[in-house]
Amino acid sequence: MKILAIRIGRVGDIVMITPALRAIIDAYPEAEIHVLTSPDGKRVLKDFSPQVTRLIVHDRKSLLAFYHVRKIEEALHQENYDRVFCFELNPRFSDLSKRLTDNAFCIDYSNESAHYSRRCLDAVQRSVGEALNDYWITLPVTDEARVKARAILAEEGITGKTFVIGLHPTYSGLKKVAWRRSKNAARLWPAQSFAELAKLITAYGKEHSLDIRIIMDLMPDEVDVGEEIVRLSNGAVTMLTPPLDFERYKATLERMDILVISNTGPMHIAGAVGTHVVAFFGDVPPTDSAAYVADGRNVNIMPPSKEIADITPQQAFEACRSFFPE
**CA-CA distances (angstroms) from residue 118 to 104, 114, 158, 222, 321?**
18, 7, 37, 33, 29
Q: Which residues of the chain fall short of a pLDDT of 70?
A: 63-65, 172-186
Position 185 scores a pLDDT of 58
Position 187 scores a pLDDT of 75
Position 227 scores a pLDDT of 97
Was domain 143-321 assigned CATH 3.40.50.2000? Answer: yes
Position 63 scores a pLDDT of 66
Position 175 scores a pLDDT of 52
Q: E strand or H helix at 4, and its extent?
A: strand 2-6
Position 174 scores a pLDDT of 54
Q: What are the sequence ranges of the domains in the chain?
A: 2-128, 143-321
Tell me if 2-128 shares its fold with 143-321.
Answer: yes
Position 14 scores a pLDDT of 98
pLDDT in tens, 179-215: 444 455 567 999 999 999 999 999 999 999 999 999 9
10: left (phi over 0), alpha (psi -120 to 50) or beta: beta
CATH of the domain spanning 2-128: 3.40.50.2000
